Structure formats: C-alpha cells, structure tokens
A and B are shown apart, each in its own frame.
Chain A
C-alpha cells in the first residue's frame, strides 16, 4: 500500500518536472506574444447550429389524446354538411307537401347522407394523398373510421330532429314502428357502408353501397308491409339493431384505442 503511494508520488514529481521542462520550451516560442482572436458572431452561430442536433431535446410530453381534439383537425367539406341538410329538408317536404308516410321517409332517406359521406371519406384517396396518410402514425383505416363516425353521428342527429318535427307537428311516432322502420334499417345501412368501404377502397364504394342499400330498403319495405301486424316484429327488429350496433361499436372501440394515447417512443 505505502509502496504504491510512494511510487505514485514519485511519478507525480517526475510529471511535474516534465511540465516545468515543457514550460521552458514553450517560453522559447514566446507564447505570451500570441493573441487568440475572438471568434466572430457568425462563427459562433455556426458552431451552435452545428452542435444543435447533438443536444438531446426534451422528451416529447406524453399527451393524453382526446377524441375531440382529433375531430378539430378532421377536415370535412362544407358541401357535405349542406348536402345532408338538403336531405333533411327533402324529408320534411315529402312529409308536409305530399303527406308521405313519415316511417317510409325515415327508412329510405335516413342512411343516404351517411352513404354519401363515404365520398367525403375517400376524398384523400382521390387526390393522391393516401400514400402519405398511411405512412403516418394513425393509419388510413383509423382515419377512415374516424370520419365515418363523425358523419354517422351527424346523420343520427338530423334523423332525431326529423323525428322530433314529425312528432311535434303531426302524429307522434310510435317507438315500436321507429325501431322497425328506422333504427334497424339504418344500422344495416351503416354496416353495409362500412363493409363496402373497407373492401372497395375507392370512390366506387359509394355507388356500390347506395345500390346495395336501395335493394335492402326495398326488401325492408316489402317485408314490413307483409309482416307489420306480427307483434313480435318490433322485438326482432330491436334485437337486430342491437346486434348490428354492437358490431359497429366494436370497430369504433378499436379505433378509439388507437387514438387514446400519444405514445412517445424515442
């Protein structure tokens, strides 16, 4: 132990001697006459800029990602909202002027804004943005469902308004009949729209979904004329609605999970 210390202090002394020698050598070079120029502003900025990438930035804050905040940025064209309002007015007109059956109006008209909304959903694809959109953190599939939900919610809102108006200014609508004529067909239309949209990945999905919808609506109308009197029908329709809605909800659930958190993985 002590021996070690001795050698190390010896080494230190040797080192000091070396330094003194070196100092003498330096003095021969007349170092004191050497001036160091202060770097220019420009050089300083350049150095700082060059260093910047090496300085680790503060980690991105883990933000809880609200669904609503995402909605703010989901840009949906005004035309879409207008077209939907137009259908709303059409329903009113048919009912008021031509005294159409409010139930049949609901059945036929209610899903159309949603199906047209698919156009809105595929807008990005038409304009060649898809490639960029699917390279982002949230995939196009998520974005697609996201927009569909917004469109669907707006659609339901309009329908409820229509039902309200029918009820206030005309005969109050029967819930059991609404289930048969509105919720069940509407849920089917939405799921058809979703199914087509996720398989046919372009604007063609809109006419396809519309045509399929017209056939289904026709089927509903025929079926309802025949079996309207059957007392268990509202229950079957109700069950069907719940079942289809559950399927849709499951897709929505998956989507929400994707949007729930902003995970920083750096």
Chain B
C-alpha cells in the first residue's frame, strides 16, 4: 500500500483514536542509545502514532536546533554508523505498526551512493525519506531512482516560498508534504496562529497530498489546530525533551497531555 493510501486510511480512523490530526514522531538513531530509542518507540506505538522519522546522525546538522545537534553528535561519538541505522530500521519496521521514514542530510545518501542507499532503505522497510538540505532542483535523479523502488521523497514547503516555487515543490512531491510552520531551526515553540493557517491554506492550493506541520509542536491545542487546518502533526524536540527528563514515564505523560481531551 502506498504511503498516501496508508495515510488516507489512517485519516479515516482518527475518529476512533479521538484525535484530530495524525502524528509523526521522531527519534535520532542511537541517541541516547538504540535501547532508549526502542523504548521510546514502544510508547509512541501505545499512543497510536501513524508515522515515525528515524534520523540518521550527521556531523553537520545545520538545519537542526541545539537539542538535535547534541543528539546527532553524541550518536556519532558513540559509534553509530549508517549500517546500524538501517539494521535498527529493519527491526523497527518489522515490529511496529506505524510506518517508518528516513530523515537525515543528503551527504549520508550521497556518500553511501544513491542506489545503494535506496536499496537498503527499501530492504529496511522504510517508506520515504526527508533530506532538508537537498533542494528539489538538485534532486531529479534521486527522485526518479526512488520511484523505481516505490520510495517517496518528502519535500518541505516553507512560509518564504513563492507560489511559483510551491507549485514546483508540489509537482515533485509524493506521499505527503512537510510544511515548515516557521523560520528557524527545529526546537523552539511555534505560535499556531492565523498566519500559519494562511500559509497552510496556500500550500493546500498547490497539492492534494496530506500536509504535515512541523517545528515546535508540543501541546494538545497544537494538535487540534493542525487537525483543523492540515493532516499530520510532527512531534520532534518536545518528545526528546520529555525523554531526557524522565524516559518512558515522562514520555508517556507527554503523549497523554498531547492526545487527551
């Protein structure tokens, strides 16, 4: 089943889950450890998240905020390699019911070799990839190769884009689109306000794909806002912060406040 169809089905079931938006969560592979990752994913599964991004650590994570920068660096220092991330992804996709997406930086793909990377991603049960530093203008070959493997490139739409650019992005996108709620890096919170609603509306005019909203989602009211205007809420830094404060217990508390009315 294609990612887009999977998301359509998940959307149907949101009523049963008593939630207004689908959830995509995030873990940095090997940070603090793969065991911690696994336990965090078990909590995420309990709360019925639909998608999980597994971030492959990179030494120059220039689009990430301080917490993820530290996470990337610690994972590399601890000896996490690309091969370990794929091995972990395979375990995860075999065990859990959510769909798994690779997130990382383009050099990881480039250095592995596009074809080898895509092949390993497919074998590991990944559905898609998000590479925030690979602009669509440079991605033609990778995207066509990905299509051969049935893998979706997830593109980012941002508030600074012109309508013409949004259309160009929409034309190349598959699976769903990641709309970036604000300027800046991952981490600090975002005002879920009229401007954001307008921006999402602008994105919507260019595509029928599901829209994910990311950067700074941390509260139930954020989820409700995203449910009203878009489809998928992306939970990144806030969940890692909860994990750092108190492991599975705190993470469960975090998801409880996020999902319960």
Query: Do these two chains interact?
Result: no
Contacts from A to B (Cβ < 8 Å): none
